[in-house]
């Protein structure tokens, strides 16, 4: 995954998934948590920002393994 992800790249990555699948952000591999993705998206300084909407809990072991954060 490129460090400088674009909106187009993100859309292509998500197109193959069930549109009803919940989305979470996986944060911090040293202390892994799952966060809700906020509904707010803003563009500032030429970048799109997706808001965090709070922490769901610890990231599952399966998700950590899939991200190679074990």
Residue range 13-60, pLDDT digits in tens: 899 999 999 999 999 888 899 999 998 899 999 889 999 999 999 999
Domain boundaries, the chain: 19-66
pLDDT at 5: 81
* Number of C-beta neighbours around residue 59 at 10 A: 21
pLDDT at 2: 55
Structure tokens at 57: 């809990």
pLDDT at 43: 92
């Amino acid at each position: 995954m490129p460090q400088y992800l674009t909106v187009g790249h993100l859309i292509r990555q998500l197109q193959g998934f069930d549109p009803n699948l919940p989305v979470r952000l996986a944060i911090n591999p040293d202390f892994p948590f799952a966060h809700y993705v906020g509904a707010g998206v803003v563009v500032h300084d030429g970048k799109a920002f997706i808001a965090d909407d709070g922490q769901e809990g610890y990231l599952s072991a399966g998700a950590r393994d899939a991200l190679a954060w074990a």
